[in-house]
Structure 1
Amino acid sequence: METDRNMRERRASLPIENTRPDRLDTLTGLRFVAALLVFLYHSFREQHLVTGGTGSWLASMVDRGGSYGVGFFFVLSGYVLTWSFRPGTPSGLFLRRRLGKIFPNHLVTLIAALALAATGSAALTTTDWLPSLGLLQSWWADPVVTSAGNPVSWSLSCELFFYLCFPLLLPLINRIPPRLLWTATAVVAGLCAVLALAARYLVTDQPPLPYPGFESMSFDQVWVVYYFPPSRLLEFVLGILLARLVLTGRWVRIGMLPAAALALVGYAVSSESAYLLGVGGLATLWVAPLIAEAATADRLGSPSALRGRVWRRLGELSFAFYMVHYLVLTELRRALGEQWTAPVPVELLVALLALAVSLALAWVLYEAVERPVTARVGRRLRPAGALT
């Protein structure tokens, strides 16, 4: 009987097109890890569910968790779309599937956010949240507009821009000769660094942000690096290039564990870096090898701790979880009161309760909205122009 090792070696010797799996379960599991980083950031850094010295320590540990998780999603999006794309796919079908993936969850959580804001007597005008309705809020250099409605949906504003660009970007990147793919990847990495430095030294730092720890920068600087869709497009392009490197056999394997260690080192480096250098594309570069290695492990059938049914299920719920968790946390904090404190074990239990409630609501949103709508819009359209 053929051993697992022999099977992996045989698969590795085959052309990649012949061993490209439809599912990338390890990457699906990693999606939940990224979403969990965002949850931890909002729980301990923004909502301060744990107070005192322990709370300060937790807040410092997850200080860049939100930006790291979002950056991971942006690279992953470019990678997965390129990996799963098949020549001849109608552009109309592609865009229909992408919009069907993000808009239903977005609209449901936006309605919920506006309803909760109204019950809390929040001062939110129509002009504040209206750009969010069409996922256009990240194009506004205004902190009120970018965070209006369901604040986490700003990243979907970027994703929508990526999806619209993908039919144009993929044919261009496919024309890059395989021998030049690493050069193109290095150029994108360099542009991420240039962007971060330009935001820090060329964009005005006035007026300063009125938040502790952010007084040395303006929202314009943060917006250029973090929210502006063309800036974040660099990470999406990085994901496309990574997929091309793997598909053309140009990716140099380092193994899952070293790639994971590199991502952890990158998180530590970004945490110690100045804000404008420690968020956005420059910080996201550290997770790129992990994405490529995880996909390669799935292709070869290599052992993976994140390929089990539980991790796969959590990964499937990750988008819905991402969309509901902030609403749960803000409502929980409002119910507790700004001055609420308790012994650390109790505060941690409250954080776990918030996680459990978020996952439960994510399951409802996934089963009632995301999965049925995604299945419906995935049906093939009649005629449309091909992507390539």
Structure 2
Amino acid sequence: MRLEQLTFTRYIAALTVVFFHYGATVFPANLPWLNPIMTAGPIAVSYFYVLSGFIMAIAYYRAGEQQQRPFDTRRYWWARVARIYPVYLLALLLMILAKYHSTGSEPFTVALSLSMLQAWIPGYPLTLNAPGWSLSVEAFFYLCFPLLILLVKRHHLTHLSIAAAGLWVVTQTGHTLLLNSEYYTSRGLLHDMIYYNPLMHLNTFLIGFIAGAWLQEGKLQRLASPNLNTLALLSVALLAMALLVVRQPLMTHSGIQFDYTNGLIAPLFLLFIVLLALNTGKISTLLQHPWLVLLGEASFSLYILQKPLHGIYEKLMPASIDPAGMLHFYLFVILLTLSAVFSYWFFETPLRRFINNFVNRAP
């Protein structure tokens, strides 16, 4: 099942990360009512995780008798390595060479990033290439995925769905309680644990996997009704954006700190993904345009290369261009996007194909 209408949403999500890091003060992100939406980068990472679980289920989960076929772990592991590690390693090496971070020369810091373990240890998730922490989390999801397939084989999908819902409740409750505890300090060790630790994000990947499996089982087809689908899709998108806008006012008036980064609104993301996957109307047709699909495919390179390329960009830009201005930022977005497409065409895809062909070749 090809769901290319979902691909471009990855580019939009990755772009909010770029706005969060470098464009929060430029138009139109500087408008108060748009800023929480356009700079929702950390929350967009949760969207990536839900989408990842969903797509992985579509790719690997087989309903009924086909599910009894053995899971080819060898090909699975190499396919995952080929999918994320070459560009991840390229970005990491660029950061090490540039010595952007004061800890960049410490062997332990480098070893953690090379092994994609940095998100597990407070104090280290954002070292070297900061966006790489999310790939550390994703690597943990890949590690868990064969176990999820095994659990579905041995237990009914309904049981796993209940467990996923329970994990989501526990994660959100734990995150909110710790965020409001007297021991929490911004950017402290507890902050790193509740915001970056892979266990705090597992709920998002799991609910995405469950939804993808149910879709493969043919249980979600009612949501494909054209009239219901389009209306629900637009309503969910508007509701998610409204929740982004009202988060800060709600915290101010309630005195309770909460965040969406660990999946608090992931069920909305999930519903949006399912509805868009089942959409057969004009929205789906538009999003399947080859150029939009290409931008979505290049979004991983855009996301993981943004920090090293921003450093190079700042060194090469003329001093006459205001580094805090709109021109400076949008030139960077254009060059970053072109670089990501170039990376996807000539680095990411060829290496992925080479690794997969090498592993899958006949004895």
**Does the pair score TM above 0.5?**
yes
1:69-110 deviations in Å (ceiling 9; x for gaps): 111111111111111115434111111100111110011111
1:225/1:373 CA distance change after superposition, 3 Å = same
Q: Structure 1 stretches of 5 or more lacking a match?
A: 1-20, 210-217, 384-388
The letter of the residue matching 1:259 is V
Correspondence 1:81-92 to 2 at 5 A: 81-85=56-60, 87-92=69-74
1:193 Cα deviation (Å)? Answer: 2.0
The aligned counterpart of 2:262 is 280
1:229 Cα deviation (Å)? Answer: 0.7
Q: Do 2:89 and 2:114's aligned partners in 1 also have CA atoms closer than 8 Å?
A: yes
Distance 1:109 1:152 in 2: 10
The aligned counterpart of 2:145 is 166
Distance 2:99 2:5 in 1: 37
1:197 Cα deviation (Å)? Answer: 2.4
The aligned counterpart of 1:259 is 236
Given candidates 229, 245, 250, the residue that maps to 2:198 is 229
1:140-163 deviations in Å (ceiling 9; x for gaps): 110xx2112211011000011110
Matched, 1:103 2:89: no
Distance 1:333 1:272 in 2: 35
1:186 Cα deviation (Å)? Answer: 3.3
Given candidates 105, 112, 121, the residue that maps to 2:94 is 112
1:322/1:191 CA distance change after superposition, 3 Å = same
1:196/1:263 CA distance change after superposition, 3 Å = same
1:130 Cα deviation (Å)? Answer: 2.7
Q: Give the length in aligned residue pairs.
A: 340
1:63/1:333 CA distance change after superposition, 3 Å = farther
Q: Do 2:37 and 2:241's aligned partners in 1 also have CA atoms closer than 8 Å?
A: no
Given candidates 148, 152, 173, the residue that maps to 1:194 is 173
Q: Structure 2 stretches of 5 or more lacking a match?
A: 63-68, 252-256
1:114 Cα deviation (Å)? Answer: 1.6
The letter of the residue matching 2:240 is A
State TM-score, norm by structure 1. Answer: 0.77
Matched, 1:349 2:327: yes
The aligned counterpart of 1:152 is 131
Correspondence 1:57-72 to 2 at 5 A: 57=32, 60-62=35-37, 65-72=40-47
Q: Do 1:263 and 1:290's aligned partners in 2 also have CA atoms closer than 8 Å?
A: no
1:324 Cα deviation (Å)? Answer: 1.3
Q: Do 1:77 and 1:239's aligned partners in 2 also have CA atoms closer than 8 Å?
A: yes
The aligned counterpart of 2:348 is 370
The aligned counterpart of 2:308 is 327
Distance 2:5 2:198 in 1: 27
Task: Provide runs of 4+ in structure 1 moved above 6 Å.
Answer: 334-338
1:270/1:306 CA distance change after superposition, 3 Å = farther
Say what the alpha-carbon RMSD is for the aligned residues: 3.3
The percent identity for this pair of structures is 23
1:187 Cα deviation (Å)? Answer: 2.4
The aligned counterpart of 1:3 is none
Correspondence 1:26-37 to 2 at 5 A: 26-37=5-16
State TM-score, norm by structure 2. Answer: 0.81
Distance 2:142 2:331 in 1: 35
1:266 Cα deviation (Å)? Answer: 3.5
Distance 2:29 2:239 in 1: 27
SS state of the match for residue 219, structure 2?
Answer: coil
Distance 2:261 2:250 in 1: 9
SS state of the match for residue 305, structure 1?
Answer: helix
1:63 Cα deviation (Å)? Answer: 7.3
1:376 Cα deviation (Å)? Answer: 2.0
